[in-house]
Structure 1
Amino acid sequence: MSEGISKHLFLPKGSGLGLKDGKLDKNTFKKVIPVLAAKVAPEKAGVLLKSPVMKRYSDQADLSPEVLDFLKSQSAELVSHPIEFGYDYWTADDIIHAILPEELEAGAPSGFANVGHIAHLNLRPEYLPYKHIIGQVILDKNPTCRTVVNKLDNIDNQFRVFRMELLAGEPDFVVTQFKREDVVADVFAGVGPFAIPAAKKGCAVLANDLNPSSYKYLTMNIAENRVDSLVRAFCEDGRAFIRNAFNRAYDDPLPPPPQPKPRRSELKEMRAPDTPPLPPAPRRQRINHFVMNLPDTAILFLDAFRGVLAPENAGGRDLSGLYDAASMPMVHCHCFTRELELAKAEADIRQRVEEKLGHTVGEETSFHWVRSVAPQKEMYCVSFRLPHAAAFATS
């Protein structure tokens, strides 16, 4: 890009640009810059581009005699050509810094935690008047993002109450690692910000929280969102919940996911007199995922998985048919680490996880950076398949 173009390509910071009646006006980010161009026949374009005498000039007065002679020899016509740069050209940081007023521009939010398709912000109070605009910009500029949320309050270390506010995109708070036919056990469910959307996807959920107040509002949210048939709520210590979850799903299987509404063509076939009725879908007994979103202490609860499927804990139930080495549930455990380098952070988290499990975790282990919590404190989510040997271990 020539210097003549680049000197025009900036957005004034702290200018309030792009706001119209409190909403984002994308048209205000349009810039049209005229540049000097050489117009030639298509077959000669390559000659001009590869020529050593051609330089990048912004004005006809800057062209050297050598260049002018070369252009003349190629029958090139000098013209003014407009180049348009619109909203799509600018980065999210460019736009956010331009939108905010001058007094807020210096500390503008520039990052977010990313979990699947969800962008998770933690906006300071002074930026809340611009929260929906910031959310829209982040949604526009990140193709894999479909949902932008903001955390409304803090999480207590023991009693987890966590609320999210949708800023932009779809109200879909379930990360795509869950399938609609899955059974999810949410160990620290709070008031249900993940359990209830998972149920709306079709997942069956065992949702638990030790805080009686959280449990109260969890049950209310389950009823208000009409997912009573898919979500079962508990108010227990996390370890007790983990130890009981497998047996509960086995003894009282959860219902299958709701059947989607049939299409018109399918309805016609279903009404035919010789069409046999569809067999009922089987109820669900096997847990596919454990979610442990209490980063301060969640790793400490992993020892509850030791021997959880062994006869001692299963009370005589034979759970080996449901859970072989390939079908053990995935465990998604949020945690903190003081290690700032990725390799060291993964090594630290892995060591602590394996120490509590009493077993190594295998190849199906991933470490997802969530966000920086403090200058020397990072949040991660480690996901691993529960080791078969650990779950069936006898004392």
Structure 2
Amino acid sequence: MFGPAQPSRRKLFISIFNISTKRQMHCGLDTSPPIHRWMKDSLARDAFRTSLHVIGVRVPANKTTSMLKSELLKSYIIDLPKIKNVVWDPSGNQNRRVILLKVTEEAALTPEARLFLQEQHVDLVQHKIDLDYDYWTADDIINSILPEDLCDGSPTGFSIIGHIAHMNLNQEYLPYKHLIGQIILDKNPVIKTVVNKLDNIDTKFRFFSMEVLAGERNFVVEHHESDCRFSFDFSKVYWNSRLHTEHDRLVQLFKPEDVVADVFAGVGPFAIPAGKKGCAVLANDLNPESVHWLTKNINTNHVSDLVRPSCQDGRDFIRNIVDRVLENPFPAYRGPRLSRMQERRQQKEASNVYPSKTKSPDAPIPPSRNKITQFVMNLPDSALEFLDAFRGILTPRGETGGRLDGVYATMPMVHCYCFTRELDPHRAEADIRQRAEANIGAELGNEVMFHKVRSVAPNKDMYCISFRLPREVALA
């Protein structure tokens, strides 16, 4: 069925073509929409009308509940979606109701059920149920429009980003793309725009071109994820709602006192949640449009004191960021953030303990955060190629020369996303490790972890390799 996934992960990918050419039957009632395979250029909603003729039991209003609960009758009561099983008496008598049954004639009832109705002294009446375009799901309507050879097994789907339904239609469905888009728009009230991803991709900033299939030409969305609010122009930045679980997984690995360098931060799906957790974050992206929305999202989510945006090439960012955080460190982590109400309560409690002060006696000030503990590299198509930038990041240079090695008693972790065409897990890990070591110029050692993120194609998987940066690389 079409529609947004539930917020429990709002795992924002929805299969939309679970289509069958079989007629929909509900205990003998044919509820399938009319077939209109001639539709191609425009959607004729009025063509989707049909009627069901069923038996109804006319009863006094005060007996409705007892009749609905009857063991002999309740298996016959109509249970179609969006159809009430009790309606007003068409004759206008306010003291009577009609209970609808899912049979078309009295002979379909068991002898016991017919005897029960006779004993209750109730009437059987004919009732017509009208079904129209609004009754059927998007799957139902599309199934009645597409050619039969396209109705089964289509892998096409859509994800929801704010008010946009984002599709990736296969070639054979393109002649029907505007019909499909309009049906999705009709059947999903939260959706205002339906777009289809084109093959063209911006080679520098890695976002896809798209065309509007139906609805408004409004690409600026507001999207909620990990208790954060993100705004961005979906036509100018990269966003993938299918990675929500992965964003959350990695942020959960971070400690609140960490300093995170997000090399390809986009609009902040890793950086903003990490900042809300308490991490200090240096968030970078090459796309100025991404950095514009990243900055807006930092302010919207009230993490401007912990998340610092920048717009640089990824290699330059990696090579310079160690110096930058040493010269301009973050304040120490002082515990979970408090709401304004919690802050006022804490101040009140402190004033009761120390009446002459509004705060408790001065506590030792922990050291500031001046070293990076985590690197995030979420550019799976080419992130491995940037690993060479880590060579020599701790070598003495500039005003900080000679101090970096002592600061980094423990080397930072690097979380690098990539693709592999090796489907066997052991071969995939070997392939990724070999490419990572070739680019970084050293063996990675024993502290290496692999996590399969998802399959992106029948012969292509996305992974995250996490490893401790080799000291000999940083000092090369």
Q: Work out whether the TM-score is over 0.5.
A: yes
Residue 347 of structure 1 corresponds to which residue in structure 2? 430
Output the CA distance in 1 between the equivalents of 2:249 and 2:447.
24
1:282 is aligned, of 347, 364, 367, to 367
Alignment of 1:187-198 (within 5 A): 187-198=263-274
Which TM-score applies when normalising by structure 1? 0.59
Is the aligned partner of 1:375 residue 2:458? yes
Output the CA distance in 1 between the equivalents of 2:447 and 2:322.
21
AA at the equivalent of 2:395: A
Output the CA distance in 2 between the equivalents of 1:330 and 1:194.
15
AA at the equivalent of 1:348: D
**How much does 1:268 deviate?**
2.8
Output the CA distance in 1 between the equivalents of 2:280 and 2:80.
43
Alignment of 1:30-41 (within 5 A): none
Output the CA distance in 2 between the equivalents of 1:339 and 1:372.
11
Aligned-residue Cα RMSD (Å) equals: 4.1
AA at the equivalent of 1:384: F
Q: Given the superposition, is the C-alpha separation of residues 213 and 277 from structure 1 closer, same or farther in structure 2, using an over 3 Å criterion?
A: same
Contact 1:153 1:163 in 2 (8 A): no
User: Alignment partner of 2:463: what SS?
Assistant: strand
Residue 335 of structure 1 corresponds to which residue in structure 2? 418
AA at the equivalent of 1:385: R
Alignment of 1:5-20 (within 5 A): none
Structure 2 unaligned segments of length 5 or more: list them: 1-17, 27-78, 83-136, 144-150, 160-165, 170-179, 190-195, 207-236
**How much does 1:208 deviate?**
0.6
Residue 323 of structure 1 corresponds to which residue in structure 2? 408
**How much does 1:20 deviate?**
6.8
Output the CA distance in 2 between the equivalents of 1:167 and 1:307.
32
**How much does 1:223 deviate?**
2.1
Contact 2:168 2:197 in 1 (8 A): no
Contact 2:325 2:370 in 1 (8 A): yes
AA at the equivalent of 1:323: Y
Contact 1:302 1:356 in 2 (8 A): yes
**How much does 1:236 deviate?**
0.7
2:354 is aligned, of 254, 267, 272, to 272
1:87-109 deviation per Cα after TM superposition (whole angstroms, max 9, x unaligned) = xxxxxxxxxxxx99464884579
Output the CA distance in 1 between the equivalents of 2:355 and 2:371.
36
Output the CA distance in 2 between the equivalents of 1:347 and 1:128.
43
Alignment of 1:139-154 (within 5 A): none
Q: Given the superposition, is the C-alpha separation of residues 167 and 185 from structure 1 closer, same or farther in structure 2, using an over 3 Å criterion?
A: closer
**How much does 1:210 deviate?**
0.9
Alignment of 1:44-83 (within 5 A): none
Is the aligned partner of 1:307 residue 2:381? no
Output the CA distance in 2 between the equivalents of 1:338 and 1:19.
46
2:377 is aligned, of 286, 292, 298, to 292
**How much does 1:227 deviate?**
1.5
Contact 1:309 1:392 in 2 (8 A): yes
1:214 is aligned, of 281, 286, 290, to 290
Q: Given the superposition, is the C-alpha separation of residues 282 and 16 from structure 1 closer, same or farther in structure 2, using an over 3 Å criterion?
A: farther
Q: Given the superposition, is the C-alpha separation of residues 379 and 173 from structure 1 closer, same or farther in structure 2, using an over 3 Å criterion?
A: closer
Output the CA distance in 1 between the equivalents of 2:459 and 2:418.
14
2:261 is aligned, of 177, 182, 185, to 185
User: Alignment partner of 1:205: what SS?
Assistant: strand
Is the aligned partner of 1:387 residue 2:470? yes
AA at the equivalent of 1:212: P
Contact 2:282 2:308 in 1 (8 A): yes
AA at the equivalent of 1:195: A
**How much does 1:380 deviate?**
0.8
AA at the equivalent of 1:159: F
Q: Given the superposition, is the C-alpha separation of residues 392 and 153 from structure 1 closer, same or farther in structure 2, using an over 3 Å criterion?
A: farther
Q: Given the superposition, is the C-alpha separation of residues 167 and 289 from structure 1 closer, same or farther in structure 2, using an over 3 Å criterion?
A: closer
User: Alignment partner of 1:175: what SS?
Assistant: helix
Output the CA distance in 1 between the equivalents of 2:380 and 2:300.
28
Output the CA distance in 1 between the equivalents of 2:432 and 2:471.
20
Contact 1:308 1:314 in 2 (8 A): no
Which TM-score applies when normalising by structure 2? 0.49
Output the CA distance in 2 between the equivalents of 1:344 and 1:123.
32
Alignment of 1:250-261 (within 5 A): 250-257=326-333, 259-260=335-336, 261=338
Residue 204 of structure 2 corresponds to which residue in structure 1? 158
Output the CA distance in 1 between the equivalents of 2:80 and 2:473.
57
**How much does 1:312 deviate?**
4.2
Residue 248 of structure 1 corresponds to which residue in structure 2? 324
Q: Given the superposition, is the C-alpha separation of residues 322 and 123 from structure 1 closer, same or farther in structure 2, using an over 3 Å criterion?
A: farther
Alignment of 1:110-129 (within 5 A): none
**How much does 1:131 deviate?**
9.1
**How much does 1:226 deviate?**
2.1
Is the aligned partner of 1:366 residue 2:442? no
Contact 2:411 2:470 in 1 (8 A): yes
1:41-100 deviation per Cα after TM superposition (whole angstroms, max 9, x unaligned) = xxxxxxxxxxxxxxxxxxxxxxxxxxxxxxxxxxxxxxxxxxxxxxxxxxxxxxxxxx99
Contact 2:285 2:311 in 1 (8 A): yes
Contact 2:422 2:459 in 1 (8 A): yes
User: Alignment partner of 2:436: what SS?
Assistant: helix
Output the CA distance in 1 between the equivalents of 2:415 and 2:468.
9
Structure 1 unaligned segments of length 5 or more: list them: 1-11, 22-98, 113-121, 133-151
Contact 2:251 2:273 in 1 (8 A): no
How many residues were matched structurally? 276
Output the CA distance in 2 between the equivalents of 1:19 and 1:249.
63
AA at the equivalent of 1:218: L
Q: Given the superposition, is the C-alpha separation of residues 392 and 237 from structure 1 closer, same or farther in structure 2, using an over 3 Å criterion?
A: same
**How much does 1:384 deviate?**
0.4
AA at the equivalent of 2:435: R
